[in-house]
Structure 1
Amino acid sequence: MPSDVRRTTLLTVAVLVWTLAGCRTVNRGLTEAVLDGEHARQWHIRYGSQSFYSLGDEGLAKIEFEGLIDRERVRVRYQRGMQGQAECVADVTTRLIEQVELRVGMTITTSTTIDLLRFDEPPQNFDIQLTVEPNEFPLPLFVRAGDESCTSILAQNRSYPYVLMHELVETSLAARAGGRVLPDVGYGWFGLGGSVNNYTRWFRDGLANYAGYLACEILSDEMDCPECPTRVAPLLHTSPLSRLATVRTRLFSWSQSSPSEHEREHYNAALGLFLLIEDRFGQQTIRDILADVATRETVDGRDLRAIASQVIGTDVKQFVADFEFPMIGGVLTPVTRALAANKGLNVAEGLLLEFVEPDGPADRAGLRPDDVIVAAASAPVADTIDFELALLRAGRPASIPLAIWRKDAGTIDVEFPLLYPGKD
């Protein structure tokens, strides 16, 4: 029967039945017929959470601040009842800046304004768009009402101190006032646009990432706070050395106009380069590079490569091209409280082995899925950076000892072979 005729017949029957039995009976009958003919289907549930927070100039102007703590480069505004916490955050941040300056050998000229904002439940997702002076970086720190100690405030905000120090260092390097490293810039006139790539991003973001990494270490010692966000694993830069061995010399052509899909790899690799320089030549080498940069009026990417090459005594591009990093042969995930509870892990931190590649290094070491690496070469392992640094600092032995936590076995020791791509 043609579809038009079938639809007409069904409609006629429905009208007739409805006339005889009433609409409720018809509705029930039609509903049951439809349900009887239903096939399995998938559900898509979208929940409109209120956890997304947006803050702009207009919204900031409406916030009632009780006072301001001013430490020259660090200004902290606070809401009612948080003066003591604001003084603590200002003091800790000032000391962080001073110690990072000493370790990397540069002057941070960018200041920061930190706003302490109290919430019943701090937002996990937010969008901050604020208008500030060219040499100023704004940073809101969210405060959970009732849990308002200085330590708790710093522990609740993953942007502190890594993102803060990254932005302060990078903008100080490239600032119009006092900065010497030429950034990549875009322009547009009369509908025509273009870009100037100075190819300094490997240095700007690399040093900024390194400064953020140092700030995390300093904060851990400063606050004696195990729960503070001293690890960079939740951020972009989780596998710096293995990514450097993958990106290699492409790092030196990384620009602001690079495809976005390469950003994570390059951010990781840029941090990896500075960690590698520190390991091979010492932290003083990084200070020496910055001291040479400070003598120049401006520098571009070629200048920076020449300066770095002169200081380390070898061509920096070749240094990166020759860098090899051992393979893992598996997928590693940092242990969190939720992961430990869901997996039944009796460890507070470490790296969970989710997958083992057949005949890879992890497999050859006798590792199994759900094993947790808790130490490498006697160094505690809490995240991927810890593990990669342990592999780097071990040099090039045939293997390194790992401490593994395994269900029903506890902590055991294994030898992990150091195998490199292209070599057996």
Structure 2
Amino acid sequence: MRRSIPLALMSGLFVLAVPAVPASAASPAAATAAHTALAAPCKPGSGVKLRGKDFTDGAALPENLRCADLTNAKLDEVDFTQKDLSGAILRNASMKEADFTQAHLEYADLTGADLSNADLGQLHAKHATLRNAVLTDADAGQAELPHADLTGAVMARAEMTQANLTDAKLSGADLNEATLGQLQARNADFTKAKMHEAKLGQAKLQFAVFKGANLSEAEFTQAEMDGADLHGATVEQASFTQADDLDLTGALGEPKDVPSDAKGSTEDLPEDAGDTTSDFGQPAASRGKGGLGLVLVILSGVGLSLTLIFWGLSHRRRVERAARFAGARRAAEENVIRLGEEIDALDFDYKINHMNTGSVDQDWRRALDAYEAAKHSLTNARSEPELAGVAAALHHGHEALTRVRSRLT
């Protein structure tokens, strides 16, 4: 039976951290403002010093754990539900079966930490470091881990349905038999990761890198894989049923259920390609030498040839237009992702400079609005001219970020 050691009642936490407001004034906006104040960045490790402390015997933890130093601490089965540990240092800490439901670990350092069987549901851990951490059998459904560093992490059999690993680093990670359905992992790096029998149904894996990864018997049903790199990846018996934009170029092994439009696969060409056999000659031969039948056959053949030629030219133009649009859209998508990364990279410094003023820089707001506008335009674009809206929004976003960056420096 799992033992849970409560840290503090959430009501007490908010009474201490946020001034009381009348019941009539409570609103989603007020709640958001309260959380923003609570999650303001600080220098990692600058909080309370609790290195090597043992809290498994019921000892109470301080209510304020932001940027706390809990290196090598023993925190097995401790209840961190909705607690704020932003910027905390938890290197090599033991947190087996701990409950981090909806907790905040943004920018926290959990290098080498043991989170076996921990509950990480809806965890917020943007930019967190979990290098070589152990998350075996952890439940991390809907966990938010964008830009997190999970290099070498052991995540075998972890449950991460609908988790967010956008731009995360998982090089050499062990994800054998992990459940990653509907995973958000655009631009994630799975280089040399172990993903035998991993389940990635409906995962968003655009531009993800799987170089040298072991994907044998993994499941990619309806996964979105535009730009995903599988060079050197082992795909023996991996299932790609209805996977979108799959490119198996350079992959090793024999996958199954490969879509007919996949690149680099044995199904790249139609089964009847090159089959131009016609039975027009049979009736003509039966009519003997010359005659009207032969003339009709020749005319029909000429007409069919011309039709095929014009159809081929038209088809080629359509294919070329589609290829140009796909290339332009891919470039625009990469630029939108890059703008988002620049905003994320500046987010920490921006909050530090504005944590005491509570004001919102107009250029910062313009950059965020431009990013959203670029994403919206990209989603709705169906032709090259329609990508102009994406370029315009990106231009305004970069200009606004440049002004914000100049003020911060």
* Structure with the higher strand share, 1 or 2: 1
> Structures share a fold, TM > 0.5?
no
* Structure with the higher helix share, 1 or 2: 1
Higher-RCO chain (CA-CA 8 Å, sequence separation at least 6): 1
TM-score, normalised by the number of residues in structure 1: 0.28
